[in-house]
Structure 1
Amino acid sequence: MFVQLKTGYNTDRGPSWIGWVDFSKTWSTAYFRGRTLRRAGKMLDANFYDVRTNEEFWISGPKRDRTDTRYGPCNPEIEPQAVEIYHAFLEGAPLPGRENG
């Protein structure tokens, strides 16, 4: 998944990561780097917030053309355990769990 911190940064300038995100059964809660993130409906530039700090995040699937942010350049940190699968994805392989669409 592509994850970007939105709180405290100008549009699309916050730090970002490519890595594994675990979701609850209902997809309303995400777990990333020790954080518990809840889905939020009425935020302007974010779709999740940290339940402890209230920091806002954008979480989405990665894009092959690396245009994961809307306006700015994006150089996400790629988590070590995701490097091999992410590079295969960039070369055309499906993401795990998405082999059939």
Structure 2
Amino acid sequence: MPDRIMFVQLKTGYDTDAGPSWIARVSFSKSWSTVSFHGRTLRRVTGTAYANHDANFVDVDSGEGYWISGPKRDQTDTRYRHGRPTIEEDARAAYEAFLRGGALPGRERG
């Protein structure tokens, strides 16, 4: 499974953009439809099933909604709040290099 450094935020149970968030290394399935994160399997959702939570992935076991996206260099990963995500140690060096203008691993060509 391809690994990527991504912005991940828990949406279920929190006000808009108030859930905990991480800059973390996640593993995508070959089809990019599922993600492995913190021992959880998250499945991509489409349509309006999780529109109330602004989620694009859902935990297959708990049903919790998550937002997963590529991190932004200007660190405005949340849309409405300005909280900082927890930067996980296995992603820290690559993320800090990205903030200085480098490419993220696996995204060297865009």
- Other structure's SS at 1:59 match: strand
Post-superposition offset of 1:51: 0.5
Contact (CA 8 Å) 1:2, 1:16: kept in 2 or not? yes
Structure-2 residue corresponding to 1:21: 26
- Give the structure 2 partner of residue 41 of structure 1: 46
**What pairs up with 1:1-101 in 2 under 5 angstroms?**
1-42=6-47, 43-44=50-51, 45-101=54-110
Instruction: Give, in whole Å, the separation in 1 of the partners of 2:78 and 2:102.
Output: 21
The offset of 1:97, in angstroms, is 1.3
Aligned length: 101
Q: What SS does structure 1 have at the residue aligned with 2:43? A: strand
Unaligned runs of 5+ in 1: none
Distance apart, 1:100 and its partner CA: 1.6
State whether residues 66 and 74 of structure 1, in contact with CA within 8 Å, keep that contact through their aligned partners in structure 2.
no
Give the superposition deviation at 1:96.
0.7
- Partner letter of residue 20 of structure 2? P
Partner Cα distance (2:40, 2:84) in 1: 21
Q: CA RMSD in A?
A: 0.7
Detail structure 1 runs of 4+ shifted over 4 Å in the superposition.
none
**Structure 1 vs Structure 2: percent identity of aligned residues?**
64
Q: Secondary structure at the match of 1:19?
A: strand
Question: C-alpha displacement at 1:64, in angstroms?
Answer: 0.3
Question: 1:10 aligns to what SS in structure 2?
Answer: coil
Q: Which has the higher strand share?
A: 2
- Residues 62-93 of structure 1: CA distance to partner in whole angstroms, max 9, x if unpaired? 00000001111121001011111111000000
- Give the TM-score normalised by the residue count of structure 2: 0.89
Aligned counterparts of 2:28 and 2:108: Cα–Cα separation in 1: 19
